[in-house]
Structure 1
């Protein structure tokens, strides 16, 4: 009697071996492409996650290096830098406050710390004649003294000119834009020429009446708004200041200003 031949068992899962090899080669290809080029980290993280899911899950080594774990390593360093800078700003403020007190200027010059850094506000009445952008000779030495204290740290310095809402019109300036810009520019040039502050640390901008710190409906409020702010920028604000262009410019003038009435208090 003839024996029956045993049926050969067909392996239906052979394709998995080829598929696994293909996926491995595909992953290697993308890793090599990543190593040879600079790509967006967020997009690469998405790509890495997709590959991991396609290959059956697992944790991504690359995601750990470029993602949350890396942030945890850098965050304490950033925090330490910010705390150190904040301590320097506070020490600088104390020095300026002492100088102002010793020279009887506390009522005309104020200091404060905010998200931008250290702000030293100069009252326009003390440093400028009405409707004029030239710094009064009587207080130039005091301004030099303040500037030398501020120059102790390497942070950039931003000079801002501000006015109240009362229109100005004289032979020199036709608008508050021009006056605020001229005062900011003159203080900046003075700090370069007389206080020895490097020009590449300085910037000047005029805001006219559009950055008030008080109510313009009262004389007291308008007096506070007429000022020049010297801002010692912290590193975070300096990044924003250098990368974002503001709407104001130190060459900007407002042709729509009402020039029919003169300002006798600026």
Structure 2
């Protein structure tokens, strides 16, 4: 019977643990690296597109971040009453740190908003100068504007970029004694609208007449006529594609601001003046450059720029001949 017993076989199975993942720590490190590179390239991009004044403003911000507008002021030490909290560090002997006399007299870092405003003004001026250059280029080369180069005057004033469209002998902008635009005047304004609409600045439009009194209707004077002509220019600009929201004011000045004082009945005194306003003027009352406009001379920043008959430009500043000298004179 012993020979009939089954043989007992014992099998030992050795289990080997499969190699697991190496962990996710490398993913965290890689994510930190990618984030750092993104931040680095963002900094390089900002440095590349900003000018010297903007970089100085950014530097001042990070040197003194507490100077930002709207930040709450810290309470004075002990302002919360006995037992209240204070913002000073307490020494081990239980007394508050007092500012040293030299530290108390140290001048504070200039406020950040001034730096921002200065940089914003610089950007605004660069924008208006670029618009002036684009318009001058169009006046020289555009088939639409080039024929009227003698009637388009551009100058930078204390209020912004001023664009003046003046009458010329045998080529008036409006019907005689009326506010109906000539077809070519509509074309000029439609072309100007495309350029003006490329900048965010608001504009003002003023109408001017010469000293000849309008007498076709009782009570209708050069004041009404100049205002109606300014409104006609507004409608033409909007029809040309300019946003209506850009218009800040419409003004009729009659003959109070003559372009050529020496010849008050000269056609150049009949004109439309469009001012693309800068930051300082936007929302404020303009005087259309006051005496400077009356003398035909811009507030002397860059001088008056007038397109000449040979396709170039003439820069006329204070002490030099009036822009009217660059235009063909009307017969007496």
TM-score by length of 2: 0.49
Q: How does 1:118-197 map to 2 (within 5 A)?
A: 118-125=161-168, 126-171=172-217, 174-192=220-238, 194-197=239-242
Q: Which residue of 1 aligns with 2:278?
A: 234
Q: Which residue of 2 aligns with 1:250?
A: none
Q: Flag the structure with more relative contact order, 1 or 2, with Cα contacts below 8 A and sequence separation at least 6.
A: 1
In 1, distance between residues paired with 2:257 and 2:181? 22
Deviation at 1:160, TM superposition (A): 0.5
| Conserved 8 A contact 1:93-1:111 | yes
Secondary structure in structure 2 of the residue aligned to 1:228: strand
Alignment RMSD, CA only?
A: 3.3
Farther-moved stretch of structure 1 (83-92 vs 136-145): 136-145
**Separation in 2, partners of 1:138, 1:172:** 30
- Residues 172 and 144 of structure 1: CA distance in aligned 2, closer, same or farther (over 3 Å): farther
Given that residues 122 and 228 in structure 1 are in contact (C-alpha distance below 8 angstroms), is that contact kept between their aligned partners in structure 2?
yes
How many residues align structurally?
Answer: 187
Q: Which residue of 2 aligns with 1:91?
A: 130
> Residues 214-244 of structure 1: CA distance to partner in whole angstroms, max 9, x if unpaired?
21x426x7323211101101111013239x9
CA shift for structure 1 position 138: 2.9
Give yes or no for contact 2:208–2:257 (8 Å, CA) kept in 1. yes
1:106 aligns with 2:149: yes
Distance 1:68 1:167 in 2: 61
Q: Where does structure 2 lack aligned partners over 5 or more consecutive residues? A: 1-76, 82-100, 288-330
Deviation readout 1:74-130 (Å, 9 max, x if unpaired): 222211111111111111111111222232222111110011101100114542122
TM-score, normalization by structure 1 = 0.61
For residues 186 and 139 of structure 1, do their structure 2 counterparts lie closer, same or farther at Cα, with a shift above 3 Å needed?
Answer: closer
Q: Which runs of 5+ in 1 are unaligned?
A: 1-23, 30-57, 245-264
Q: Is 2:250 the partner of 1:204?
A: yes
1:163 Cα offset (Å): 1.2
Structure showing greater Rg: 2
Moved beyond 4 Å, runs of 4+: 67-70
